[in-house]
Structure 1
Amino acid sequence: MRVLIAFDKFKDALTAPQACAAAAGALRAKHPDWELDLCPLTDGGEGFVEILTQQPGEPLAVSGPRGISVTAPVGFVSSQVLPAAARERLGVNGTVAVVGMAAASGLALLAPEQRNPWHTTSVGTGQLLAAAAARKPAAILLGIGGSATNDLGFGALATLGLRFIDAFGQVVDPPVPARWHQIVRIEGRVALPPVFIACDVTNPLLGPKGATVTFGPQKGLPPTDVLELETRARRMAELLCDHCERPRTFMTAPGAGAAGGISFGLMVACGAKLIPGFDLVSDWLGLTTRINAADIIITGEGRFDATSLDGKGPGALVARARRVGKVAHVFAGSLGVEADRAHHAITPPGLPLADALPRTAELLAAAVGHTL
């Protein structure tokens, strides 16, 4: 029996590799003769570099989302070792630098009381991109899941060559949204190798489905501030488009609102291209081949609900497995879909979240061992 073990992270509890290891431990104890294929997943957030490069990456000290130094990796991989489908999706030949925004500008880096998009910055992500570019790769791949920011990527762009100027000719640094009212013009240009952004979000930059309205409150933005930040974001987006001589229609592009608008900023300032994140990760990890080789697929994440079924992550993996007639099981901390023989909530009824989180590995192993 061959089992593909492909978990995403359990937020605030287990990384994707840790979840895979917990499930594998349970299966090895119960079925020592089974063949296990561990394939941690990433949604472009935590673990993006480590999972795609299969290495810890080169650690760099960069500015965190509130300016305090954090350590974040940059990874490098030769395109020649990638599956053909991943090479074709990127269309590059040579070294690919891999950067994860969550490691430098991620929400998980901040305590709840520190989360506020008026004051968070993507400067650290820009520092990672600059370090990657210094190695002259054929391309840079950026994962943008899990961000703490709503700064249109201005912090990153300031690191990469743009200057945000006030009425007195002084540079506004960092150009966080709380200081946008000071900015009257932009100077400079950004020069990077081709940048690809792994992105499954289709939200535009502005409007009811835009970055501020949809994601701002999740990042600590007071609901009463949404309209004000949206208004300021529109002015700054127009200023950037005009400076870079790019059409303002970039604001309505699908995905422009991802990660607080950093995808918009990089598309406008340096021609970054958005590519479907899960499709790229699937090609990169050879998921189709690994699904076909498996008899059973087990997957899951912290919460599995209707949003898990929208074409990415564990939901997409399960759909692919079932299309080719494979048995697939989902294990999650909590379920937003009906529990059945294929969908399993690992948390016992009545167990408080605060008590469940430290026991996630134990609960996952128990559920997998009981089911299989």
Structure 2
Amino acid sequence: MRALIALDKFKDALSAREACAVVDEALGAAQPGGARDVCPLTDGGEGFAEILTAAAGGRCEVRAVADARGHRVEAKLGFVAWRQVPIAARRLLALGTLRENDLLGVVGMAEASGLALLPAGLRDPWQTASVGTGELLRRAADAGVKAIVLGVGGSATHDLGFGALAALGWQFYRNAVDTVAAPSPATWPQIVAIVPPTGGRLPPIRIACDVQNPLVGERGAARVYAPQKGCRAEDVAALEAGTLRMAEMLAEAAQAPTDLWLRPGMGAAGGMAYGLAAATGALLVPGAELVSAWLALDARIDAADIVLTGEGRFDASSLEGKGPGALVAQARARGKAVHFFAGAVAIAAPVGVTLHVITPTGQRMPEALAACRENLGAAVQAAFAPALVSGCGRG
């Protein structure tokens, strides 16, 4: 039996790479001798830079950058030779001017400006800024990359990318002389002018994103995503009003189209997509499709007899076309048996998917998170160890 082991992260417990390693070890113990293909997944958030860089045989460096509240954290930045990027992924990135030996920078916003980096008490989109992501973009550019791909999942910010732009040389004036170093919504009322840098153009940026929300409106970033980042319900309207004011100001400074903020995807990552699109001409690419092409998932699924995937929680969002959900759809379309491992389950498994709840009955969340590694390994053993005796697995 050849198994494809492709899991996403178990939030606050295991990274995608760690989860895959646990399953690989447990399955190997349960069914020794079977072939196993290990492929950590990412939905554009945590692990984006590390997973894509490793898959393409690139190298990662670690940089000390600002997190969303200004504290220093270590973040990974990937460098990949263009020749190592699969052809299908190259087509999606549409970077026709790159040569085989050119370097591509791979940046994950969650590495620097991620929500998971902040304890609950510090999660507040009024006070967070994307400076650290801008520092990673600047480092990639300074290293000579010819293009950058940026994953924007898992952000803690709603700053329209102003923090990143500040790190890239844009200036946000509160008067004729003084500037705001890390513009966040709390400081937006102070900003009276935005001035672009005079030189040092960035290489082309491609934003891996599956969000279709515009920046403002009923489905805009403030109304849909800011509450998930700590914004109180009674403050959403004020955040929306400030968002529109600053979007107009940036459009004027960058000479960007005045309807740009209404286009699909511009609300991604608290408006990071809008800020980079307006200021640098960054373009959006479909994130799940890019990851699938980059990791050659179609070919790896075809080569597998069985697919093991999972993430921390299995709910309706799990089947919305990102990460494990996209993998499940691809595997089912090819008639492959799928086993999905999750810490918590909110919906029934679709046809063709065997669902495994790894958390023992009665185990509370703090204990389940601490024991996630052991729980996941035990669930895999329970699902597949009987094959040693009877020759058939148990779902």
- Pick the TM interval, shorter chain: over 0.9
What CA distance in whole angstroms lies between the structure 1 residues aligned with 2:345 and 2:171?
46
Equivalences for 1:130-141 in 2 at 5 Å? 130-141=138-149
Q: CA deviation at 1:9?
A: 0.1
Which stretch of the first structure deviates more once superposed, 281-290 or 162-171? Answer: 162-171
What displacement does 1:248 show? Answer: 2.2
Alignment of 1:8-47 (within 5 A): 8-47=8-47
**SS of 1:28 mapped into structure 2:** helix
Quote the offset at 1:149 in angstroms: 0.5
Match of 2:171 among 136, 159, 163: 163
- AA paired with 2:68? P
The TM-score normalised by the length of structure 2 is 0.91
**Residues 339 and 345 in structure 1, CA contact (< 8 A), matched pair in contact too:** no
1:66 matched to which residue of 2? 69
> What is the percentage of aligned positions where both structures have the same residue?
53
What is the number of equivalent residue pairs in this alignment?
372
For the 8 Å contact 2:59–2:79, the answer to whether it is kept is no
Q: Per the alignment, in what secondary structure is the counterpart of residue 152 of structure 1?
A: coil
Whole-angstrom distance in 1 between the partners of 2:218 and 2:363: 36
Kept in 2: contact 1:49–1:56 (CA 8 A): no
Which secondary structure does the structure 1 equivalent of 2:148 belong to? strand
1:148-191: per-residue Cα shift (whole Å, max 9, x none)? Answer: 10000000011112111124442122211101001111112472
Distance of 1:246 and 1:10 partners within structure 2: 39
Residue 197 of structure 1: aligned partner: 207
Q: TM-score, normalised by structure 1?
A: 0.97
In 1, are the aligned partners of 2:7 and 2:39 still within 8 Å (CA)?
yes
Structure 2: segments with no counterpart, 5+ residues: 385-395
Task: Answer yes or no: is the 8 Å Cα contact 2:50–2:77 preserved in 1.
Answer: no
Task: Write the distance in 2 (CA, Å) between the matches of 1:224 and 1:91.
Answer: 42
SS at match of 1:59: strand
Q: Give the secondary-structure state (helix, strand or coil) at the position aligned to 1:328.
A: strand
Three-state SS of the structure 2 residue aligned to 1:338 is coil
1:280 is aligned, of 284, 290, 309, to: 290
Match of 1:112 in 2: 120
Q: Hey, what's the Cα distance between the residues in 2 that align with 1:267 and 1:179?
A: 22
1:77 paired residue number: 80
The DSSP-based 3-state class of the residue aligned with 2:274 is helix
Post-superposition CA distance 1:59-116 (Å, at most 9, x none): 1111111111111121100111122111222233321100111111111111111111
Structure 1 unaligned regions, length at least 5: none
- Report SS of the residue matched to 2:238: helix
Quick one: distance in 2 between partners of 1:31 and 1:324?
A: 24
Structure 2 counterparts to residues 1-372 of structure 1, below 5 A: 1-54=1-54, 57-92=60-95, 93=98, 94-189=102-197, 191-339=201-349, 342-372=354-384
CA RMSD across the alignment = 1.4
Q: What is the distance in 1 between the residues matched to 2:319 and 2:258? A: 32
What amino acid does structure 2 have at the position aligned with 1:69? R
Secondary structure in 1 matching 2:192 = strand
Give the letter aligned to residue 307 of structure 1.
S
Match of 2:392 in 1: none
Dislocated runs of 4+, deviation >2 Å: 91-94
Partner SS, residue 330 of structure 1: strand
State the distance in 1 between where 2:82 and 2:339 align. 32
Partners of 2:139 and 2:14 in 1: CA distance: 29
Once the two structures are superposed, residues 37-66 of structure 1 have per-residue CA deviations (whole angstroms, 9 ceiling, x without a partner) of 000001111111111111661111111111
The one-letter code matched in structure 1 to 2:375 is L
* 1:202 counterpart letter in structure 2: Q
